[in-house]
Amino acid sequence: MKVKILNTNYRPTDIAVASARSCYFSKHIVTPEEVTNWNKKNTLLNSIFKAGHHTTLMHYHFTILIEGMSRLLIWRLLHSHPYYNSEQVSQRYARMSINNFTYPKNANKELWENYYKKMFFYYETLIEKLAPNIEEILPKFKKKEAVKKAQEFARYLLPMGMNAHLYHTINVITALRYISALNALPEAKEEAKEFIDLLEKEMIKIDKDLKPLIDFAKTQKSVFDVNIEKI
């Protein structure tokens, strides 16, 4: 898996502290530049975080480039929290590849390989069988889209282990929620840990002052509904 956060000119904690100070400063707005080297910055940061003034950490957004994440983890972790935006490779318009699956660690790879090959064969076969029928009923100017329309139907046969690449944008609080959710995640735990480890490194690379907040998030408990039928 590859995870990279696009960098910006500001640090998340500078924006958080500046926005917090602006709430209590009557003369003018406090800019991020004014708190970068302020000696009380981390004291105020920890204070507002412990006090629950978390909206200050929602002004900064990470735009993350992710490659090689299963659609199961995307659905279960990335898309089960509020305040996100994703643009991921479309199974409707992009033809999927047999080489693009996630294999659980310490599992029988041969069994998984056979399962993926079987399901991918069904996927390819359904596209092949549907395309001529769809082309027949489409108007003339749409007939060239028959294969893509067939892919729209066939994608439902693809397992959730199919990988995806995506742009994913979240605020700092959502990123911390991902970290705290790791221990409570009902499935895909090893893949989730790989993602969280990479995410943490990228966050600290951008702003080392996030480390105490990340460490705090690791101690918190999240709740997931383990009954998938309800979701």
Q: What is the pLDDT of residue 80?
A: 86
Instruction: Tell me what the mean pLDDT of segment 156-182 comes to.
Output: 94
What is the distance, to the nearest Å, from the Cα of residue 169 to the centroid of all Cα atoms in its chain? 8
- Tell me which of 92 and 20 has the higher pLDDT: 20
Question: Which one, of 223, 186, 224, 216, lies nearest residue 200 by Cα?
Answer: 216
Question: Which one, of 187, 191, 184, lies nearest residue 221 by Cα?
Answer: 184
Match 């064969």 to its residue by tokens.
Answer: 121
Write the single-letter amino acid at 115.
Y
Instruction: Tell me what the mean pLDDT of segment 189-217 comes to.
Output: 95
Place 227 in a pLDDT band, splitting at 50, 70 and 90. low
CA distance 98 to 85: 27
CA distances from 42 to 39, 72, 181 (A): 8, 37, 25
Bridge partners, residue 113, by sequence: none
Instruction: Tell me what the mean pLDDT of segment 14-25 comes to.
Output: 91
Match 């693009």 to its residue by tokens.
Answer: 100
Q: What is the pLDDT of residue 25?
A: 81
Is the per-residue pLDDT at 88 higher than 70?
A: yes
Place 107 in a pLDDT band, splitting at 50, 70 and 90. confident
Lowest-confidence pick of 45-59, 105-119, 212-226:
212-226
Question: Which one, of 146, 162, 201, 186, lies nearest residue 70 by Cα?
Answer: 162
CA distance 5 to 169: 9
Place 226 in a pLDDT band, splitting at 50, 70 and 90. low
Q: State the CB neighbour count (10 A cutoff) for residue 207.
A: 18
Instruction: Tell me what the mean pLDDT of segment 23-37 comes to.
Output: 88
Extract the runs of DSSP E, i.e. beta strands, from 76-133. Answer: 84-88
The helix or strand, by DSSP H or E, that contains position 167, with its residue range, turns out to be: strand 163-171
Mean pLDDT of the chain: 90
Q: What is the CA radius of gyration of the chain?
A: 22
Structure token pair of residue 16: 């958080």
